[in-house]
Structures are given as structure tokens and as C-alpha cells.
Chain A
Amino acid sequence: MLAEFGYGILLVSFIVTLYSGFAAVIGVRNKSASLVESARRAQLLTFPLISIAAGTLIYLLVNNHFEVSFVYEVTSRSMPTYLKVTAWWGGQAGSMVFWAWLLAVFTSAVTIRKWERDIEFLPWVIVVSSVTLAFFLGMVVVFENPFTRYWSMNGSVVTSMFAPSSAATVFTPQDGQGLNPLLRHPGMVIHPPMLYLGFVSFVIPYAFAMAALITGRNDDRWIRITRRWALWAWLFLSLGLVLGGRWAYDVLGWGGYWGWDPVEIAAFMPWLTGTAFLHSVMIQEKRGMLKQWNMILIILTYALVIFGTFLTRSGVLSSVHAFANSPIGPWFMTFVFLTLIASIALVIKRWPDLRGETEMKSLLSREALFLLNNLLFLGVLVICFWGVIYPLISELFTGQKVTVGPPYYERATGPLFAGLLFLMAVAPLSAWGHSTLQTLGRAIWKSAAIAVAATVAIFFTYTQNVYALIGFFLVALVLSATTHEILRGAMARQKAQSENFFIALGRLMGRNRRRYGGYIIHISMALMAIGILGIEIFQVQTQGQLSAGESLDIGGYRVEYREVAQWDNVPQEVNYTRAVVGVYRGDKYLGELYPRKDMYFSGQPMSIPGQYSTLRDDLYVLLVDWEPISSTSATFKIYVNPLVNWLWIGAVTFLLGLAFAAWPDRDPADEPVRRKVHAGNRQTSAAD
């Protein structure tokens, strides 16, 4: 009964969404205020409707309604209630409802708050959002229905929404399969919603961009309205990526945080275009340039968000057959393709209106360096996209299955990331409009000298590896240039306002949070780069079988095997094997670690490493194998991951910096608009 109710509500939401989109288009076309208002109300109605459907699904999940196939697939009786609730996004059907729900929430937030102010855009925002929402709801209603039930008919069990015949009765399995234990980790419980928050938030700037194109308004109004949406989207996407990395490091047991897996890359790609977008919109705000380019970036981001949503859940890029067999695969691709074509067509139509208001003056100006930054980000995107897609192309055309793995991505993206680090140090020092080698050199020489000194010190004390030295030099350059820039501003203000240095620093940063939040993010990126360089270049590993009392030496550590114990945890449906090892550094005893191997009764294994973590390095011990009865010996795989903690420290400060930049105060859309730049020629009329 509840399942039918939930499905019915989804169906109603789908119809209401379609109505909302059509009513908005016709309302604007016919200048009918009442029809537009009706569209808005229909849009606002989608939020409570999808909430009720989602609530129904959660009720079914929490109360063990295993006759619903989705509930059977992602929960089991033994799971705690909070995990049953979060199982909502633990499978494809549920996560698509979640996606749709978020979009309904965000669109409602936009239309409810500033309806009067943004009335010129909002009907079209409703249209774009409704098209997207209708697509997801359509997928859910037709192909990925979370309310489908099991029916027993003539002795066999079939899956169907409604009774397949009058003789069929609802079949309720005793217990569900339960959520994949790998996904029960707290990091994995909040990782998907963070990623989805990021994905869905990017739909809002896209919707406003399309509205701007359709209405023909060619100034930066849409960017100002959605600046904060884009920043928050970027924040959540980044948080999602970081959580995913940390989860992999803690649970997957391969001594790393990022494996260049297609699923990871799928979430990374919209981040790349989103990052490029956040940088290049500044040029439009300050200089009125790059309007066409910003449109293209937000369109790409939207397309990659839809593509990423699809990939992260279904993993259908594993083979051509998996793709062809997935009921939603072709639909997703068609949707991405059509929206891309439609959006690009709009950009082309408005192309002449979107000309820049000013000219590019110098190759070293801030806007020129930002463009270079965009080129590098898109370069990384091209590598990622091509690497993810190529195995399919190969299989399709030659029948040969190939893997595009980490060595490929690392070699290809390495130089681009190095270039990005360099720009991160230099670009903030260059001036808008005009810079010369001289002005830039004057601004940076002190920082460069510090970076050179640091690199020389690293050369003599830490490493002679050329790649590492280049990397550390760039990191040092970013750190010193950015810190210098912050201090210079604070000192100037201290002098000018006769304030205490720290008050001056605080006020300076507080008055221009986007700029200084950005600097904190740059510093964090440099810190993260330290961790990445450390683990990529200096990671060492060893493996060996040890009898009690024996030890393995690696990277200055000694790991001594003591014992191993094994027991069942029946309520959790898991068998633990836990080893005890003693860790020494030189002669100094550091304590015990407990690497574990969890074997779930379902047959899913999970390796939990024992970690001894310092700023210098992580000792990461995995229990690989053991003798079941005697427990006299066990095999361990041990990694030493130098500097990896800087990655996590950088990730935390990165998120803080981002929150600092994005924290609400005055709405950017209400700020005074940039004064018109009088470049003298090709002034387009933006004010009408």
C-alpha cells in the first residue's frame, strides 16, 4: 500500500514538474503573469511532493519492508536505524530520488526568496530546473523505481511495481542483503550527499546562465546572483572528493587515497570546470570580458554534473555491454547530448552580444594569466575525459579491452598541475589590465628568493629527486608569495589606519573575503601538494611473512609481529581477524597497531590498516594473510607514506578558506555593479 502511495506521489511530482516547465514558457511568451505565477507555485509544490515520496521511502527502509526490492538490496535487519535512513542514497534508484529532492529544494530556495528582484530570470530558471528535474523524475518513474516490489507467481518471484497478474501475491524476503559493508564507514555515509550537494548546486548557476542567454541580458547579473551558489557548490564538491579520498585511505587498504578510477574522475571533472569557472567569472566581473567563455564553462560543468551523477552510481563505463544493458545509460547520454546542443546553440545565437567590453592589454595581466589557468584546467579535463572514455572506444572499434590507469594520468597531468601551482603563485601578484615583466618581477623576487633557498635546503637534507625538487620549489613559491601578499596588505593597512597588526589583518581579510578566502585556498592547495608529492614520489612498501617476535624494517620503522586473534561479531554479521604489532622507530618504542581484516558473512572482505601517523610520514600496516589455526605467523604489507598528512591538513584549511569566502553576508547581487570600463571601442549596450 505504502509502495503504491510513494510511487503515486513520484508520478504526481513528475507531472507537476512538467506542468511547471511548460507553464513558465507559455506564461513568459504570452506575457501572462498569472501563468508564470502558476508555474512558480507548481515548482514550489515539487518540494513537498518529493519530500513525501522520499519520506515514504525512508519509512519503508527503516521498517524492514523487504517486499520492496530497493529496501531488500540496501538494508538488512541488523543495520542500525541511522544507516537504514542513509541507505536512501545507498543504491541507484534511491540516490536519483535524493538528487531530484535536492534540486527541488534548491530551486524552491531560489524562487521563494528573491522572486520580485530577479523576476526577469526566474521564469527561465524554473524552465531549466524543471527540465532537469523532469528528466530525473522520469528516470525514476520509468526505469529506476525505488518502490518496485517482489511478487510470487506460480512458484517464482518476479519484480514489478504492480501485481503482474491477479493470482500474484506480494513476496516478502526474510531479511535484506544489507548495505555493502565498505559503504558503512561514516566517511562513506556522508560522502555521497556532499558530492550530490555540489553537483546539484551547480545546476542553479547553469539555470541562471541559460536564463541570461534566453532573455538576452549580457552583463554579469547572472554571475552576481549565483556567485554564492557556485562557491557553495564548489565547497560541497571539494568536501565530497576529500571525504572520498580519506575513506579510500582508511578502508580500501591499498595505501593510497586516489586511484584514478573512472568513478573518481567522474566526480573530479565537474570540479575542474567549476574551478576554471570560479576564476574566469572574476574577469567578467572586473573587466567585462570572457562572457562567451564563462557561458561555455558553466554549460560544460552542467553536462559533466549529469554525466558524473550517472557514472558514479552505475559504473557502466566498465564495458560497452554494461552500458548497453543499463536501461538508463542511453537516456542519460541522450539528455546530456541534447542539453549540450541546446545550450551551445543559445550561446552561438548570442555570440555577438557576449563580446568583451574591454581589450586584453598585456600577456602578463591578471586576466591573461587567468586564461592560462583556464587552459590548464581544461587540459586536465581533456586528459581525464579521454582517459575515461577511451577504453569504451577501444572496445567498440577494435574489440580490445584496455585499462587507462594511474601512470597515464600522473604523467599527463603532472606538468599541468605544476603549471597551475606556478600560476597560483604569480597570478595574484599581477595587476588587472596591465602588467609587465618588470612590475611582476618586482612583486615576486623576494618570494622567489625564499623559494630557492627552501629548495636548496630540501636538496641537502631531504631529497635529490628532480621532480620532487621542482614540486617543492613551486610549493614554496606559492606559500611565500601568497603569505607575502597577505602580510603586505595587512602592514599597509596597519600603517594607514594606525591599527594593531592583527586587527589590521583581520579587518583586511574580513573586508574582502573572496580574495583572502582565495589566498587561504591557494595556501591549502600548496599544503596538499606537499602531501601528494610525498606519497607519489617517496612512498615505500614491503611485504613479508612474520612469526611471533619477528619484525620487518621499512623507512626507519621496525614493525614486530606479536599475535593475531579471530572472532565473530554475529549482530554485525562479520568475522574479525585482528593482529597486534609493535612499532619501533630506531630503538624507540612507539606503541601497538591493530591492522584488521574483516570478513563479512556475505563474503565481502575489508582491510582496515593500522596507522601510525605523524607530520613526517604515515606508517600504514595491512594484515594480508595469516595461518588460521596456529596463528604463529602472519603476512603484513607495510607502506610508509611520507608527508601524506599535509594532504589532510591542507584539505581542512582548504574547506575553512572556502567557507570563509562563501559565508553569507551581503548578497553579491545587491553590490554596486562594476563601473563601466571605458575602453573606447566596441562598447556593447549592456544597460538596457
Chain B
Amino acid sequence: MKQLLKNRTLRVTFYAFLLAALMLVTFTTVFAQDTTPTDDEVNAIAKQLYCPVCENTPLDVCPTEACHQWRELIRQQLAEGKTEEEIKQYFVDNYGARVLSEPPRTGLNWLVYILPPVLILAGAFILFRSFREWSKPKAVESGEGPEEEAGTSSDDEYIARLEQELKNRK
């Protein structure tokens, strides 16, 4: 337990340190524009973008030379003090919406976000209606016979017997 606590303290210290370092880094990129942004800062943005010429390859893992240069472009823009949003916008302006990992929420694209939930809710509604439909005639014979509980196949009879044994034991 002590070991665990120690590890935990260590970890908390580590994260606090990381946070401080991160804040320092942000601070320095904003105010001291001549420092070179780190690979991690570049990747953080590249991860949200897609290679403009390959099929379905995120920019941060794309191995091609072209992507390497695009990542350098992100670094350069970061060094110039541009924000994440500005850089992403730059890529959208130059290479189209396909560089974003999701369609922008405009116009027809809303369909991407709206259709699946609507269909699923419709499915749920139909299912619920069917349940109501199915259980209506039941009103007459709603006596809760315990023999109803088990199914009718031999498997279930076996299990029901097991469960009966279990009950008797207690």
C-alpha cells in the first residue's frame, strides 16, 4: 500500500510537472515566437488532420515525404504564432474539407450527424410499439405461473431443474 501511495504521489507530481511544462511551452510559443515547436505539438495538430492526397491516412502517421513537409508546415505556422484553429483552417482552405477527420457541420453534412440517431430512435420506437402490440392479448392470461419462466426446450428444462435444486438447497 505504501508503495502504491508512493507511486501515486510520484505520478501526481509527474502530471503536475507535465502540466507546468505544457503551460510553459504554450506560454513560450505564444510570447517567444522564435522557439521551434516540438514534434509533440506538431503531431497534436497533425493527428486531427488527414493527409490531403492519401486515402484515409491521418497526417501524423503518414509516412510519405509530402506529409513530412506538411508537418513541417504546421511547425512553421506554429512558430509564427498561429493557433490550432487557424492552422486547421489553413489546411481546409488549401486542400478542402477532406483534410478534417469529420465533415464540417454545414449544409448537407448535417445528414451525417442527424440520420443515424434518427434511424436508431425510429427503430427503438418501432420496437417499443411492437412490444405493446405483442403484449396486449396477454392481459387475459397474465397470471404469473412460475412454470412460465423456463423455456420449453430440453436445455432449458435442464437448467430449470438445476435452478430448482439450487433453491431447495437454500
Where the two chains meet, the residues of A that have a C-beta atom closer than 8 Å to any C-beta of B are 253-255, 259, 261-262, 285-287, 315, 318, 356, 359-363, 368, 371-372, 375, 378-379, 382-383, 386-387, 390-391, 393-394, 397-398, 400-408, 412, 416, 431-436, 439, 461, 488-489, 491-493, 495-496, 511-512, 515, 541-545, 605, 607, 635, 637, 672, 674-675, 677, 680-681
Contact = CB atoms under 8 A, between A and B. Distances in A.
Contacts of A401: 96-98
Interface in B112-170: 112, 115-116, 119-120, 123-124, 127, 130-131, 134-135, 137-138, 141, 144, 148-156, 158-159, 161-163, 165-166, 169
A488 B167 CA distance: 11
A431 B150 contact: yes
B24 interface: no
B101 interface: yes
Given A261-B56, A489-B162, A680 B141 contact: yes
Contacts of A439: 149
Contacts of B153: 285-286, 674-675
Given A405-B101, A408-B112, A262 B155 contact: no
Nearest to B169: A495
B137 A359 contact: yes
17 contacts: A255-B61, A262-B56, A318-B55, A361-B138, A386-B112, A386-B115, A394-B103, A394-B108, A400-B97, A403-B97, A433-B151, A434-B144, A434-B148, A435-B149, A488-B166, A489-B162, A495-B169
B135 A398 contact: no
Nearest to A263: B56
Given A259-B56, A361-B135, A434-B148, 13 more contacts: A286-B151, A359-B137, A360-B130, A361-B148, A362-B135, A363-B131, A378-B123, A393-B111, A403-B98, A489-B162, A492-B162, A512-B159, A515-B155
A432 B151 contact: yes
B109 A493 contact: no
Contact of A433 (B116, B119, B148): B148
B101 A403 contact: yes
By secondary structure, the B interface counts as: helix
Interface of B: 4, 8, 38-40, 43, 50, 55-56, 58, 61, 63, 96-104, 107-109, 111-112, 115-116, 119-120, 123-124, 127, 130-131, 134-135, 137-138, 141, 144, 148-156, 158-159, 161-163, 165-166, 169
B52 to A, nearest CB: 10
B51 to A, nearest CB: 10
A362 B141 CA distance: 13
B135 A360 contact: yes
Contacts of B137: 359, 681
Contacts of B97: 400-403
B78 to A, nearest CB: 14
A375 B149 CA distance: 24
A640 to B, nearest CB: 13
Given A255-B61, A286-B152, A402 B103 contact: yes
Contacts of B150: 431-433
Q: Which 7 A-B pairs have the closest CB atoms?
A: A360-B134, A405-B101, A432-B151, A543-B39, A254-B61, A492-B162, A402-B103
A405 B61 contact: no
A562 B154 CA distance: 66
A404 B149 CA distance: 46
A637 B130 CA distance: 53
B15 to A, nearest CB: 11
Contacts of A285: 153
Given A378-B123, A404-B103, A677 B112 contact: no
Contacts of B112: 386-387, 390, 404, 408
Nearest to A680: B141
B158 A390 contact: no
B102 A675 contact: no
Contacts of B148: 361, 433-434
Q: Output the residue of B111, B120, B169 with the most chain A CB within 10 A.
A: B120
Q: Output the residue of A391, A492, A674 with the most chain B CB within 10 A.
A: A492
Contacts of A412: 116
A495 B165 contact: yes
Nearest to B141: A680
Contacts of B107: 398
Contacts of B134: 356, 359-360
Contacts of A491: 166
B39 A390 contact: no
A545 B149 contact: no
B165 A492 contact: yes
A393 B123 CA distance: 23
A244 to B, nearest CB: 15
B101 A407 contact: yes
A461 to B, nearest CB: 7
A515 B153 CA distance: 13
B63 A607 contact: yes
A379 B120 contact: yes
Nearest to B156: A432
A404 B102 contact: yes
B153 to A, nearest CB: 5
A105 B70 CA distance: 50
Contacts of B4: 461
A403 B56 contact: yes
Contact of A496 (B108, B149, B162): B162
A273 B127 CA distance: 17
B155 A544 contact: no
A382 B120 contact: yes
Contacts of A406: 101
B100 A403 contact: yes
Given A383-B116, A394-B103, A368 B131 contact: yes
Contacts of A637: 39, 43
A254 B56 CA distance: 12
A394 B63 contact: no
A143 B89 CA distance: 43
A637 B46 CA distance: 14
Contact of B119 (A382, A434, A607): A382
B151 A379 contact: no
Contacts of A432: 149-151, 156
B112 to A, nearest CB: 5
A407 B127 contact: no
Contacts of B131: 360, 363, 368
B146 to A, nearest CB: 9
Given A386-B116, A492-B165, A371 B102 contact: no
Contacts of A672: 154
A390 B111 contact: yes
A151 B51 CA distance: 38
A318 B56 CA distance: 9
Contacts of A362: 135
A386 B123 CA distance: 16
Nearest to B51: A403
B122 to A, nearest CB: 10
Contact of B43 (A391, A541, A607): A541
A404 B63 CA distance: 21
A59 to B, nearest CB: 34
Nearest to B168: A495
B116 to A, nearest CB: 5
Contacts of B38: 543-544
Contacts of A434: 144, 148-149
